Amino acid sequence: VKAAELLDTAAADCVVLEDAIAGVQAALAAGMGVVGLGAAAHLPGAPIVVKDLSAITVAEIGALKNKYR
């Protein structure tokens, strides 16, 4: 959320890449898109979870803006 503010960017235009449940929850509460990194069992609530960044492209991440709010 702070990064979005510093960049003068709306939360809905952000996608957070997160490996902790608290970060997933905070991003969702802020209305940001979320990609969970790691094991899905450890990231309940993340709409999309990938093992690591090699499993998702920049285009796929960009397509998540405004999708999972």
Report the predicted TM-score, pTM, of the whole model to 2 decimal places: 0.84
Task: Give per-residue pLDDT as tens, 1-14.
Answer: 888 999 999 988 89
Is residue 49 pLDDT above 80, yes or no? yes
Q: Distance between CA 13 and CA 10 in Å, rounded? A: 5
What the block records as the tokens of 33 is 């898109």
Q: Distance between CA 20 and CA 5 in Å, rounded? A: 21
> What per-residue confidence (pLDDT) applies to 69?
53
> What per-residue confidence (pLDDT) applies to 68?
57
